[in-house]
Amino acid sequence: MSQRINILYIMDHFQGTGGTERHLTYLVEHLSREQFQCVIVVLDLAPNRWVDQIRAAGIPVIHVPVLREYAPAALLRALQISRLIRLHKVDIVQTFQQKSDTYGATVARLSGVRHIISSKRDTGELKKPRHYRANRLLAGLFERVIVVADSIGDLVVSKEEIPRCRIIRIYNGVDTAQFVPPTMQQRIAARERLGFTDGEFVVGMVARFRPEKGHDTLLAGALAAAQGIPGLRILAVGGGPLLEDFRSRFRQQCAERRVQLLDDAADVMAYLHAMDVGCLLPNANEGFSNSVLEKMAVGLPLIVTDVGGNAEAVTDGENGLVIPPRDVEAFRRALLTLYSEPARRLRMGQRSRELVEEKFTLQRMCGEHAMLYDSLMRHSVG
């Protein structure tokens, strides 16, 4: 199509630390400016580096505060969103998160938007029964529902009664030019900055310290494995509401430098380059992790729990090991296995990088979104 397609993205919250925020940043920055004009509306916005990055690229991020979608003030905010839709001549609205899927999508439809897309990015354990009832009631608003993994698609079909024909799976993508395997010098420098020696075995996780992310499994399993891995070091990066609680609980190990529990980092590369094994051990509410893809891109073998799309990124025995959630003993065994088989660990890391290049590039992710947007518009013209 010769005319640019105008897309409005609506999000519940944009706090700058989650996978959805990173995903949308990558998407709007890499979509063709000649084909697409993007605007983002956020219902709960806090200053953060991702929003600064998006705005620096010339893409508007507009805060339309909506606390309760059924309160009288929400009607005035709905009128504001409706005016934005008309001002930007929006062709497609894409919603992220629960409030946007109900309130945002309803406003879009009442404002005359024909093409409305929902993005489902996790397994939905944090949703309440009323959310599922609302989603089933409003399912007809959505022409397509993007899911980040086949396992998420299955849940959306069964729990929200979205017809299978409306589901389209688009995996997340990672920038393979930015996230690359380290040189030997980069690896040594990264480990020296963190106080690790070359002979130590570093297992790492990058995730917010929240109940569903599985830091209990990481720390309990790794400390148990330390009996068979004398040089084991644990590196967990992510900040979050439970960080200080974990630091308090594992204060002795932190003082011994066996465990490092670190705040959120703007650049995770130096931490990834210091690791021998990467992991992500959620027990619930996972989607298709950008953090897993970044570890794969730098050539790490992975240990992940079989939650969300983890097992679609990590093939058990090929580029890592997949274990049940909350299984401390399984994690301990997996660590001992990878520690004791360095040649296998190397092959798994190489395969991680190959899989990213084959299936999970940023270019592929953005290209599949672009094809979806273009197909919707062509269909409406036809």
Q: What is the pLDDT of residues 207-243, one digit of tens each?
A: 999 999 999 999 999 999 999 998 999 999 998 899 9
Kindly tell me the burial class for residue 219, based on how many C-beta atoms sit within 10 Å of its own C-beta (0-12, 13-18, 19 or more).
buried
**Residue range 114-138: mean pLDDT, rounded:** 92
**Which CATH number among 1.10.10.10, 3.40.50.2000, 1.50.10.150, 3.10.450.50 corresponds to the domain 5-173+361-381?**
3.40.50.2000
Taking the alpha carbons at both ends of the chain, their separation in whole angstroms is 12
pLDDT band at 1 (very low <50, low <70, confident <90, very high): very low
User: Backbone phi, then psi, for 17, in 5-degree steps?
Assistant: -120, -10
Q: Are 44 and 12 in contact (CB under 8 A)?
A: yes
As a whole number of angstroms, the distance between CA 330 and CA 336 comes to 10
Q: What torsion, rounded to 10 degrees, do the Cα atoms 251, 252, 258, 264 define? A: 10
C-beta separation of 278 from 301 below 8 A: yes
Domain boundaries, the chain: 5-173+361-381, 184-359
Fold: same for 5-173+361-381 and 184-359: yes
Chain-centroid distance, C-alpha 270: 20
For 184-359, which CATH class? alpha beta
Sheet with 61-63, side-by-side order of all strands = 61-63, 36-45, 5-14, 92-96, 115-120, 144-147, 167-169
Question: In whole angstroms, what is the distance from residue 179 CA to residue 205 CA?
Answer: 16
* pLDDT score, position 2: 55
Tokens of 96: 């992220």
Tens-place pLDDT, residues 143-156:
999 999 999 999 99
DSSP 166: G
The structure's pTM equals 0.93
Asked whether the CA dihedral 309, 310, 313, 316 is positive or negative, the reply is negative
